[in-house]
Amino acid sequence: MDLEKIEFLPDDFEFVGDKQDITKDVVAPSLPAWKDSLNRFKKNKGAVIGLICILVIAVFAIFAPMLSSYEFDAINTKIASISPCAEHFFGTDTYGRDLFVRVWTGTRYSLFIAVVAIFIDVIVGMTYGLISGYFGGKVDSVMQRIQEIINSIPTLVILTLLLMVMKASLFTIIMALSFTEWIGMSRITRAQVLRVKEEEFVLASRTLGASNMFIIFKEILPNIYSQMIIMIMMSIPNAIFYEAYLSFVGLGLPIPMASLGTLINDGFNSITIYPYMMVIPVIIFSILMLSFNLFGDGLRDALDPTMKEM
Partner 1 sequence: MSNSTLKYIGKRLVISLITLFVILMVLFLMVKFLPGSPINNEKLSASARAAIEAQYGLDKPIPVQFVRYIQNMLTGDFGVSFNLYKDMQVSSLVGSAAKLSMIYGLCAVIIGTVIGMFLGVFAALHKNTIWDTIATVISVIGVSIPSFVFAMLILLLFASKLRLLPTSYSSSNAIKSSIMPILALSVGVIANVARFTRTEMVSVLTSEYMTLAKAKGLDRKTLIFKHALRNALIPVITILGPILVNLMTGTMVVEKICSVPGLGKLLINSILSNDYNIILACSFLYAAMYIFMMLIIDISYGIIDPRIRLGKDD
The residues of the shown chain that bind partner 1, judged by CB under 8 A, are 46, 145, 148-149, 152-157, 160-161, 164-165, 194, 237, 241, 244-245, 248-251, 264, 268, 271-272, 275, 278-279, 282, 285-286, 289-290, 292-294, 297, 309-310
Q: What three-state secondary structure class fits 70? A: coil
CB of 279 to partner 1, least distance (A): 7
CB of 18 to partner 1, least distance (A): 39
Query: Judged by CB, which is closer to partner 1: 62, or 271?
Result: 271
Least CB distance to partner 1 at residue 141 (A): 9
How far is residue 221's CA from residue 128's CA, in Å, rounded to a whole number?
14
Nearer CB in complex with partner 1: 202/278: 278
Task: Tell me if 264 sits within 8 A of 109, measured CB to CB.
Answer: no
CB closer to partner 1 out of 50 and 65: 50
Task: Kindly report the three-state secondary structure assignment for every residue of 84-142.
Answer: CCCCCCCCECCCCCEHHHHHHHHHHHHHHHHHHHHHHHHHHHHHHHHHHHHHCHHHHHH
Give least dist CB 231 to partner 1, A: 15
CA triple 293-231-121, angle to 5 deg: 115
Q: How far is the CB of 244 from partner 1 (least distance, A)?
A: 7
Smallest separation, CB 258 to partner 1 (Å): 18
Cis peptide before 275, with omega less than 30 degrees from 0?
Answer: no
Strand partners, 92: 98
- Within 10 Å of residue 105's Cβ, how many Cβ atoms? 24
Q: Which of 151, 144, 141, 114 is nearest to 238 (CA)?
A: 114
CB of 31 to partner 1, least distance (A): 27
- Indicate the Cα dihedral angle 108, 110, 114, 115, nearest 10°: 0
In the complex, minimum distance from the CB of residue 80 to partner 1, in angstroms, rounded to a whole number? 21
Nearer to partner 1, 1 or 310 (CB): 310
C-beta closer to partner 1: residue 65 or 131: 131
What is the distance between the alpha carbons of residues 82 and 94, in angstroms, rounded to a whole number? 9
- Pick the closer one to partner 1 by CB: 70 or 278: 278
CB closer to partner 1, 70 vs 163 = 163
Measured between alpha carbons, how far is 79 from 114 in angstroms, rounded to an integer?
Answer: 32
Cβ(276)–Cβ(258) under 8 Å?
no
Contact between 54 and 289 under an 8 Å Cβ cutoff? The reply is no
Which residue, 222 or 250, is less far from partner 1 as judged by CB?
A: 250
Alpha helices in 136-259 (DSSP H): 137-151, 155-165, 170-196, 200-207, 212-214, 221-249
